[in-house]
Chains A and B, each alone.
Chain A
Amino acid sequence: MKRLDRNQMAARVARDIPEGAYVNLGIGLPTLVANHIPKDREVILHSENGVLGIGPRPAPGEEDPDLIDAGKNSVTLLAGGAFFHHADSFAMIRGGHIDICVLGAFQVSQTGDLANWHTGEPDAIPAVGGAMDLVCGAKQVFVMMEHLTKKGESKIVPRCTYPLTGVGCVTRIYTDLAVIAVRPDGLQLVEILAEGLSFEELQRLTGVPLRFRAAA
């Protein structure tokens, strides 16, 4: 079996982002998705700190400390981009104006609960940022994560054991093994991504039952 690397995962997520979508990419792995959106497809990237129309990273030496994304990386602004304050930015999020947000995760449950902000360890400093707002406001919530933990345990679980970010909020899961849709009647396989991986093996690795066929 050949798992997808991070860029291949990002490219697969990018394939499902349509022309005209307003999209928020979470910190970390999801930011890679921006690099894989085809040049001829207009997608408008939003960032919580108050910007629509994020462009590519600036060339070295061209960074502007006043122009950053939610991960505090230097970015550029596309022609047509806009700046706004935080309450407006979260009105866009909470008010259902963002079409897709892509987030990392520690765990996703079979009913689409998400855990991605806190390990639950007592000495861990918690940090939530905009994740709880995004999962309750974006029209679609895509999770992008490795299928298994470093110990080989499934990150797709019957019930999350880490503290929740949101309840029943995830619509699709993109891993290094497969794309899985979260439906009212359970998890449904959309596509196997890892080369040489059978459905039976994927089911064995995944902590909860999967349906084989996605209804188109």
Chain B
Amino acid sequence: MINKIAASPAAALADVPDGATILIGGFGNAGMPAELIDALIAQGARELTVVSNNAGNGDAGLAALIAAKRVRKILCSFPRQVDSWHFDRAWRAGEIELELVPQGTLAERIRAAGAGIGAFYTPTAIGTRLAEGKETRRIGERDYVLEYPIRGDYALICAERADRWGNLAYRKTARNFGPIMAMAARVTVAQVREVVELGAIDPEHVVTPGIFVQRVVRVDRLRKAA
């Protein structure tokens, strides 16, 4: 019987080695797998490369991982925010390397990894600093930059519900990077609010099919009643 449900966040992340590349879902704190990140901090893996849209907000989640000095390098589109103080300090102290990637290029590089694409040409960033040193090509009337896939050893993502096959459904804008990160990592770990029986997620509403998900952890999340 296939059962991808892990007993705990700690059990789901026990084998993360030092130096791993970790794709972390979320846009700000929406879809941020905070409990998985807490477990990763407790697990102790170091020298991590993190791929995430932001570089942490406030003191929890990715911000806490950076504060714990576990991140060697981060690839993201929007590190600088009013509440990115842990990243800001680490960057100014030279403790963390930043690869700034335009948001759509970041998403497509992740998607490309999951879809088996070797590289792709995008018009984004042509003529800017973020295209410097990269191969460009004129196709038709337009110039494009060559961009390469971003693969993860692990993806840590957040979804609303899952079944034991790893099928996932998301909630509102917490979906963001979840579906593409799930495709792009060797081991995708999804934290979910609810685990349901096979078939309970309408097959028409499965957003991430279980083929892209290796481990699922149920996490009780407090959500303010609407």
Binding site for B on A (CB under 8 A): 47-51, 62-69, 72, 77, 83-87, 89-90, 93-94, 113, 118, 123-133, 136-137, 163-167
Contacts A94-B123, A163-B128, A166-B128; is A130 near B103 (CB within 8 Å)? Answer: yes
Bound-state Cα–Cα, A69 to B79, Å: 17
Q: Could you tell me if A65 and B29 are in contact, using CB atoms closer than 8 angstroms? A: yes
How many contacts between A and B, using CB within 8 angstroms? 153
| Segment 58-115 of B: residues with Cβ below 8 Å from A | 77-81, 84, 87-88, 91-92, 98, 100-108, 110-111
In the complex formed, the residue of A with least CB distance to B144 is: A136
Binding site for A on B (CB under 8 A): 27-31, 53, 57, 77-81, 84, 87-88, 91-92, 98, 100-108, 110-111, 122-130, 170-180, 207, 223-224, 226
Q: Could you tell me if B28 and A68 are in contact, using CB atoms closer than 8 angstroms? A: yes
The A contact surface, by secondary structure, is loop
Bound-state Cα–Cα, A85 to B185, Å: 16
Kindly identify which residue among B27, B100, B104, B174 contacts A133, using a CB–CB cutoff of 8 Å: B104
Q: Which residues of the other chain, B, contact A72 by a CB distance below 8 angstroms?
A: 27-30, 57, 81
Kindly identify which residue among B30, B79, B105 contacts A68, using a CB–CB cutoff of 8 Å: B30
How many whole Å from A105's CB to the nearest CB in chain B? Answer: 14
Kindly identify which residue among A47, A68, A89, A94 contacts B124, using a CB–CB cutoff of 8 Å: A94
In the complex formed, the residue of B with least CB distance to A123 is: B92
Bound-state Cα–Cα, A64 to B223, Å: 8
Of the A-B pairs whose beta carbons lie under 8 Å apart in the complex, a sample of 28, sorted by A's number, is A47-B173, A49-B176, A64-B226, A65-B29, A65-B30, A66-B31, A66-B173, A68-B27, A72-B27, A72-B28, A86-B103, A86-B177, A87-B111, A89-B107, A94-B124, A118-B129, A123-B92, A125-B80, A125-B88, A125-B92, A127-B77, A128-B103, A129-B102, A130-B102, A132-B102, A132-B125, A132-B130, A136-B126
Q: Could you tell me if A90 and B103 are in contact, using CB atoms closer than 8 angstroms? A: yes
Q: Could you tell me if A85 and B177 are in contact, using CB atoms closer than 8 angstroms? A: yes
Q: Could you tell me if B104 and A66 are in contact, using CB atoms closer than 8 angstroms? A: no
Contacts A66-B173, A127-B78, A132-B130; is A49 near B104 (CB within 8 Å)? Answer: no
Q: Could you tell me if A50 and B104 are in contact, using CB atoms closer than 8 angstroms? A: no
Q: Could you tell me if A126 and B173 are in contact, using CB atoms closer than 8 angstroms? A: no
Q: Could you tell me if B180 and A50 are in contact, using CB atoms closer than 8 angstroms? A: no
Bound-state Cα–Cα, A47 to B123, Å: 20
Q: Which residues of the other chain, A, contact B53 by a CB distance below 8 angstroms?
A: 86
Q: Could you tell me if B180 and A85 are in contact, using CB atoms closer than 8 angstroms? A: yes
Q: Could you tell me if A68 and B173 are in contact, using CB atoms closer than 8 angstroms? A: yes
Bound-state Cα–Cα, A153 to B149, Å: 42
How many whole Å from B186's CB to the nearest CB in chain A? Answer: 19
Q: Which residues of the other chain, A, contact B110 by a CB distance below 8 angstroms?
A: 87
Contacts A65-B29, A127-B79, A133-B102; is A83 near B129 (CB within 8 Å)? Answer: no
Q: Could you tell me if A85 and B127 are in contact, using CB atoms closer than 8 angstroms? A: no
Q: Could you tell me if B176 and A85 are in contact, using CB atoms closer than 8 angstroms? A: yes
How many whole Å from B57's CB to the nearest CB in chain A? Answer: 8
Q: Could you tell me if B91 and A125 are in contact, using CB atoms closer than 8 angstroms? A: yes
Bound-state Cα–Cα, A215 to B171, Å: 48
Q: Could you tell me if A128 and B172 are in contact, using CB atoms closer than 8 angstroms? A: no
Contacts A128-B103, A133-B103, A166-B127; is A87 near B108 (CB within 8 Å)? Answer: yes
Q: Could you tell me if B171 and A66 are in contact, using CB atoms closer than 8 angstroms? A: yes
Bound-state Cα–Cα, A124 to B80, Å: 9
How many whole Å from B143's CB to the nearest CB in chain A? Answer: 9
Q: Which residues of the other chain, B, contact A127 by a CB distance below 8 angstroms?
A: 77-81, 100
